Amino acid sequence: MEILVCTTRNHDNFLRKTKCKILDSLDACIREKPDFAVITNETSFHIKTAIQLAKAGIHLFIEKPLSNSLAGSQNLLDEIKRRKLITLVACNFRFHPCLRKIKEIIYKKEIGRILSIQVENGSYLPEWHPNERYQQSYASRKDLGGGVVLTCIHEIDYLYWFFGNVNEVFSITGKFSDLDISVEDLSAILLRFTNKVVAEIHLDYFQQPSSRGCKVIGTKGTLLWDINTNVVKLYNARKKKWIEKLKLSNYDMNLMYVNELQHFLNCINNRKKSINDVKEGIKILNIALAVKKSSKIKKMVVPEK
């Protein structure tokens, strides 16, 4: 197997050591006729890049989010349909064992009918990439599609995976901290799903120490998950006690990405729809864009479906 890397950056030691074939243009990569492409450039360039690759008949793995706008999304869908391509918009947390366990418990109605869910993802942006000035990161720049809503879209993604379409969105989103960035660093979001579940989402770029997890509240109990402990606990309201449903010891977070890529390759080999193709990715992007719009107009927004 040969790995092609399209980059205009200086060739670093990692690429040299792994013996990747380094090319400086997308056209040059396409001429090599790759089996599939992994699009990991800045958010605002995802769709443009994907269209060029799709026209060449190349299957697409696209880093989340799909883009920072819907511009070009219909053209991309048309090219994918015309060439019957397999696509996946990155959703690695759908492959986290704890979230898969939570989805299973919800589906089996072990805590009854779900009423609400509280989700948090807060961390300190300057510590994300220690060897990079955080002010120059795509996550920090509006022109590259940054901001906490799009960059931290995982929480919106897995809630959609749990509960389906969203009917209403309200948020307070903006720049609140002292970070030297031009995008929002906090988003407090309310979602009401078609099935009437209400979700509260907290996203931020400034929290120390970092915090990530969720609480699912049902008519018969409550589920808790914290990424720092990787324990899923269920409170049984009838028995008045907590039950440990899953505990991961020394979980390697890289396994999410490995399993996600294996899923994508299996979908290509078996000509099957992926867990989150571009059509689904557009739905999730629409929710995120509705979050930003709601804060701007200070009103509840109905996302496009």
Asked if the model's pLDDT at residue 16 lies above 80, the reply is: no
Q: What is the pLDDT of residue 19?
A: 78
CATH number at residue 45: 3.40.50.720
Residue 224 in domain: yes
Does a structural domain hold residue 266? no
Higher pLDDT, 12 or 21: 21
- The answer to whether residue 10 scores a pLDDT higher than 90 is no
pLDDT at 79 over 90: yes
**Per-residue pLDDT at 1:** 76
Within a domain: residue 184?
Answer: yes
Q: Do 166 and 212 reside in the same domain of the chain? A: yes
| Residues 28 and 152 reside in one and the same domain | no
CA 60 to chain centre: 16
**Separation between Cα atoms, residue 156 and residue 229, nearest integer Å:** 22
Q: 83 and 139 in one domain?
A: no
The stretch 48-52 carries a mean pLDDT of 98
Question: DSSP secondary-structure letter at 286?
Answer: H
CB count, 10 Å around CB of 136?
11
Residue 69 is assigned to a structural domain of this protein: yes
Strand partners, 38: 61
Does position 18 have pLDDT exceeding 90, yes or no?
no
Whether residue 165 is found in the same domain as residue 198: yes
- pLDDT (average), residues 215-236: 98
Both 8 and 116 in a single domain?
A: no
My answer on whether 77 and 100 are in the same domain is no
Claim to verify: residue 37 and residue 158 sit in the same structural domain: no
Point out the domain boundary residue: 32, 63, 89. Answer: 89
Give how many domains the chain has, as a whole number.
Answer: 2
Question: What pLDDT shows up at residue 11?
Answer: 60
pTM over 0.85: yes
Alpha-carbon gap, residue 228 to 139, rounded angstroms? 23
Claim to verify: residue 147 and residue 291 sit in the same structural domain: yes
Q: What is the pLDDT of residue 9?
A: 75
- Residue 131 belongs to domain spanning: 96-250+278-297
Look at residue 17 and tell me whether its pLDDT is greater than 80: no
Query: In the predicted model, what is the mean pLDDT of residues 63-81?
Result: 98
Is residue 12 predicted with pLDDT exceeding 70? no
Share of the chain above pLDDT 90, in %: 92
Is it the case that residue 5 has pLDDT exceeding 70?
Answer: yes
Report the distance separating Cα 98 and Cα 93, nearest Å: 9
State whether 105 and 82 are in the same domain: no
- Residue that finishes a domain, picked among 36, 54, 89: 89
Q: Are residues 161 and 218 in the same domain?
A: yes
